[in-house]
């Protein structure tokens, strides 16, 4: 069972030994953290699960430190004497791993061998240490273990589902668990902050604060990705996992404090689980399944063929024979990109700049298989994921040389080339609204510096769904 859930900011500045005289700049946050810590400790947890955005964060999985004894300090901030030692709960972590595997949620336990072989951080980060400092100050018992989980850059639905996994494990083991979701809000509240000012910074913070106060889970899970991006925040994944812990329950919330005096929003809040309620996760999945079903009923011929190829290849390891209604694809030729998405997030994208096969059917089939199994950014698609995927196909025109003035990210894709280095970006991508953004991403993909002498080409696409 959950005794208490909390959202806490993590600026080292609010540690008295570090902040010193500057504590007056964040007085509201200090007071809010003290009150939150007091309530959490008073709830009597036997285990505290920390959710941090500053540990070992991966694009395709959630991770957790798997050392029996945990250590962290503030040496990175010049205060090595501020040391913290806590016990881990490996049995709880193992149950999470088992449950996550059964639900096809990628979760890894980082033991000493994995950490050493991959040069990963094996210590507690400040996303955990700052709130832990306040919990210990509030009287947290030394023998209460913690579980240090690092968020993953996954879809909102996957993060939310992972929270429900933590809930199920806590209920199965009948342990009194507290959840501490660590994260700062927008980093773009003022020009003097860590990032340049953006008006969406305050908008994001107000949106999240209001939604948490009113227990509006749906609005948070379905927040605009652009609003998040523009805000420059690090709290959102922790918040969504925490809310997933409360799935199928009503809950009450208490906003202890919010301020942003240094250009970063600091929100401190507490939550208590109440009576049973309908599962938002189940409703969300049912709605998603219906949406995917409707998409399949109206999908284009190129997308239908790409989907059939992927489904057959993932299930059986071979390409299927092309069906009668798709034969026209064998009479055409063209370069293509096949894009897969899962819960609205990119799951794979591979393509060709110029035609590489004898027909469009072969081009689509080979690129579809590559997108599902060979995109280096993602693990290969599994059979369990097939029912959650959506597809799109881009058929490219022949690239033509151009200048910067000839580009338009809503009309043309771009190719940048310097020697053997080449980067491509498709047009009509969410969040890519200017030529400068489009070019910067393409150059970064190619490993080409902006001031190098590179060649630019543009191309048009016909996008199929």
CATH number of the domain that residue 256 is part of: 3.40.830.10
In this structure, is residue 292 part of a structural domain?
Answer: no
In this structure, is residue 81 part of a structural domain?
Answer: yes
Answer for the pair 258, 202: CB distance below 8 angstroms, yes or no.
no
Co-location of 203 and 262 in the same domain:
yes
Co-location of 318 and 175 in the same domain:
no
Domain's final residue, options 248, 283, 318: 283
**pLDDT tens for residues 313-329?**
999 999 999 999 999 99
User: What's the CA angle centered on 279, arms 277 and 285, to 5 degrees?
Assistant: 165
Co-location of 302 and 447 in the same domain:
yes
Pairwise CA distance, residues 184 & 9, whole Å: 5
The partner residues of 258 in beta bridges, in order of sequence, read: 267
In this structure, is residue 288 part of a structural domain?
Answer: no
The partner residues of 148 in beta bridges, in order of sequence, read: 50
User: What's the CA angle centered on 52, arms 49 and 58, to 5 degrees?
Assistant: 115
Co-location of 338 and 268 in the same domain:
no
| Segments forming the whole domain that contains residue 63 | 2-283
- Three-state SS at 457: strand
Domain's final residue, options 283, 309, 332: 283
Co-location of 107 and 30 in the same domain:
yes
User: What's the CA angle centered on 314, arms 310 and 318, to 5 degrees?
Assistant: 80
The partner residues of 462 in beta bridges, in order of sequence, read: 395
Angle between helices 360-373 and 301-316 (to 10 degrees): 50
In this structure, is residue 290 part of a structural domain?
Answer: no
**pLDDT tens for residues 25-51?**
999 999 999 999 999 999 999 999 999
Strands laid side by side in the 345-351 sheet: 345-351, 335-342, 389-396, 461-464
Co-location of 232 and 379 in the same domain:
no
DSSP string, 30-60: HHHHHHHHHHHHHT--SEEEEEESSSS--SS
Pairwise CA distance, residues 432 & 199, whole Å: 18
pLDDT at 117: 94
Co-location of 359 and 405 in the same domain:
yes
Classify residue 199 by burial, with Cβ atoms within 10 Å: 0-12, 13-18, 19+: exposed
In this structure, is residue 112 part of a structural domain?
Answer: yes
Residue 337 Rama label (left phi>0; alpha psi -120 to 50; beta): beta
**pLDDT tens for residues 335-371?**
999 999 998 889 999 999 999 999 999 999 999 999 9
Q: Give the other-Cβ count within 10 Å of 91's Cβ.
A: 11
In this structure, is residue 289 part of a structural domain?
Answer: no
Domain's final residue, options 283, 311, 330: 283
Q: Which residues of the chain have pLDDT under 70?
A: 193
Co-location of 375 and 446 in the same domain:
yes
- Counting the structural domains of the chain, the total is 2
Cα 81 to its chain centre, rounded Å, is: 33
Co-location of 303 and 255 in the same domain:
no
CATH number of the domain that residue 378 is part of: 3.30.700.20
> How far is the first Cα of the chain from the last one, in angstroms, to the nearest whole number?
44
Co-location of 360 and 271 in the same domain:
no
pLDDT at 81: 92
In this structure, is residue 432 part of a structural domain?
Answer: yes
Co-location of 237 and 334 in the same domain:
no
Co-location of 279 and 323 in the same domain:
no
pLDDT at 345: 84
In this structure, is residue 212 part of a structural domain?
Answer: yes
């Amino acid at each position: 069972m959950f005794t208490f859930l909390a959202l806490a900011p993590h600026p080292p500045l609010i540690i008295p030994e570090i902040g010193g005289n500057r504590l007056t700049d964040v007085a509201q946050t200090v007071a809010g953290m003290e009150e939150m810590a007091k309530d959490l400790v008073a709830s009597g947890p036997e285990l505290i699960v920390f959710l941090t955005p500053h540990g070992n964060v991966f694009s395709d999985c959630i991770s957790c430190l798997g050392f029996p004894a945990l250590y962290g300090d503030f040496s990175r901030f010049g205060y090595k004497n501020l040391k913290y030692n806590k016990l881990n709960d490996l049995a709880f972590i193992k149950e999470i791993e088992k449950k996550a595997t059964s639900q096809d949620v990628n979760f890894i336990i980082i033991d000493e061998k994995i950490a050493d072989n991959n040069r990963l951080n094996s210590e507690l980060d400040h996303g955990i240490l700052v709130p832990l400092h306040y919990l210990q100050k509030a009287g947290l018992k030394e023998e209460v273990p913690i579980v240090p989980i690092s968020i993953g850059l996954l879809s909102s639905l996957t993060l939310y589902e992972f929270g429900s996994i933590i809930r199920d494990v806590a209920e199965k083991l009948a342990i009194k668990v507290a959840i501490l979701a660590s994260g700062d809000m927008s980093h773009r509240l003022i020009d003097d902050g860590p990032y340049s000012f953006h008006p969406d910074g305050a908008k994001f913070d107000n949106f999240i604060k209001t939604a948490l106060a009113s227990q509006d889970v749906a609005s948070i899970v379905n927040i605009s990705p652009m609003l998040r991006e523009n805000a420059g925040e690090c709290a959102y994944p922790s918040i969504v996992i925490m809310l997933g812990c409360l799935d199928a329950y009503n809950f009450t919330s208490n906003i202890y404090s919010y301020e942003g005096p240094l250009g970063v929003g600091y929100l401190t809040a507490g939550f208590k689980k109440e009576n049973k309620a309908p599962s938002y996760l189940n409703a969300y999945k049912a709605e998603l399944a219906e949406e995917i079903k409707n998409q399949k009923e109206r999908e284009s011929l190129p997308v239908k063929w790409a989907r059939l190829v992927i489904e057959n290849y993932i299930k059986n390891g071979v390409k299927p024979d092309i069906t009668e209604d798709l034969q026209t694809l064998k009479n055409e030729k063209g370069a293509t990109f096949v894009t897969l998405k899962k819960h609205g997030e990119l799951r794979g994208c591979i393509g060709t700049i110029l035609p590489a096969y004898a027909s469009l059917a072969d081009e689509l089939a080979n690129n579809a298989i590559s997108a599902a199994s060979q995109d280096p950014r993602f693990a290969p698609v599994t059979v369990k994921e097939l029912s959650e995927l959506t597809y799109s196909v881009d058929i490219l025109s022949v690239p033509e040389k151009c200048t910067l003035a000839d580009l338009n990210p809503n009309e043309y894709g771009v190719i940048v080339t310097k020697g053997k280095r080449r980067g491509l970006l498709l047009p009509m991508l969410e969040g890519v609204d200017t030529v400068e953004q489009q070019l910067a991403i393409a150059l970064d993909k190619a490993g080409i510096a902006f001031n190098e002498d590179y060649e630019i080409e543009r191309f048009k696409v016909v996008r199929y769904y």
